[in-house]
Amino acid sequence: MRITTVLSAVLLALGPAAAPAAADSSPSPSASDGSSAPTSAGTSFRTATEIEQGQQATASGSTGDYLYWSFPADAGQRPTVKATVKLPDTHAGQTWQIDVYDGLRRRQACQYGAQTRTAAQGTAAVDLACTLRTVRAWSEPWADDPLPGTYYIRLTVLNLTTADLGQPVHASVRADSKDIGGSAAVDGSLAKPLVPGIAVASKSEEGDGGSSKAAVLSSIEPTDGWASGWWSDRWVWTAIGGVLAALAGVGGYALTRGSGRPSRVPPGA
């Protein structure tokens, strides 16, 4: 009875602590798909159009153009980028590809998804997708792991006939993330996220006493700030493991210590 009471009290105490972990494991909130969503794309890394996760961005262009967007991704997230390209009524076979780069402009590999697809002659549209590896809070300098910061989407056609060059196309892209939680947590974090220009801005503010601000090439960031995933369910499971180990020790002691009464000694012993 005493052990049951202790266990109930421990579970009630852990209830509020488990709530943030549950929130971290849920998908990231979607931004509004209203009129605020971008309707154009950049033509290079420096001119990439910034989008929030969950926004359905659109753009019109011509076959042969490079279309660029950028979005923020924080530690513990597994981003998935999807794109749809609406093609002209008449066209030859075309192969389209979507690439994702991190803040250092390193091309990130896709875990799964149709990153490259060929649209047969007369096909109305082609769908592309790329799911990245989980973004890590810290990594070795030589590694190519995804890190917190700005991510760039590049959409382009790989092979094109001369007759199709310059024909109008309409593209739509969307970036979403799944929060992985404590299974992706690491011991360490970056001093600054990989956002182009953020290190230059920080150094300028330190040198001038905060009186001047250098331009940051990407101003977009997660809704609740960078490194928002400092809390993970690994904390909760570690605490639960410790509590269960303590309860097992108490239970083992209670079972092996006996009744606690001294045994009767026979007379004359």
Q: Which fold has domain 30-194?
A: Jelly Rolls (2.60.120)
Tokens matching residue 257: 């210590």
pLDDT digits (tens, 9 = 90+) for 12-25: 444 444 444 443 43
User: The whole model's pTM is what?
Assistant: 0.70
Least confident range from 116-120, 206-210, 223-227: namely 206-210
Per-residue pLDDT at 243 exceeds 50: yes
Domain ranges across the chain: 30-194
pLDDT digits (tens, 9 = 90+) for 210-228: 444 444 556 677 777 776 5
Per-residue pLDDT at 204 exceeds 90: no
b/e 194-222 (16+ beta carbons within 10 angstroms → b): bbbebeebeeeeeeeeeeeeeebbbeebb
CB-facing half-sphere around the CA of 51: CA atoms within 13 A: 32
Give the Cα separation of 249 and 229 in Å (integer): 34
H-run or E-run covering 99: strand 94-101
Per-residue pLDDT at 155 exceeds 70: yes
Helix/strand/coil for 126:
strand
Contact 169, 85 (CB under 8 A): yes
Query: What was the pLDDT predicted at 235?
Result: 62
Helix/strand/coil for 201:
helix
The sign one gets for the Cα dihedral 43, 45, 49, 53 is positive
The more confidently predicted of residues 48 and 6 is 48
Per-residue pLDDT at 127 exceeds 80: yes
Per-residue pLDDT at 11 exceeds 90: no
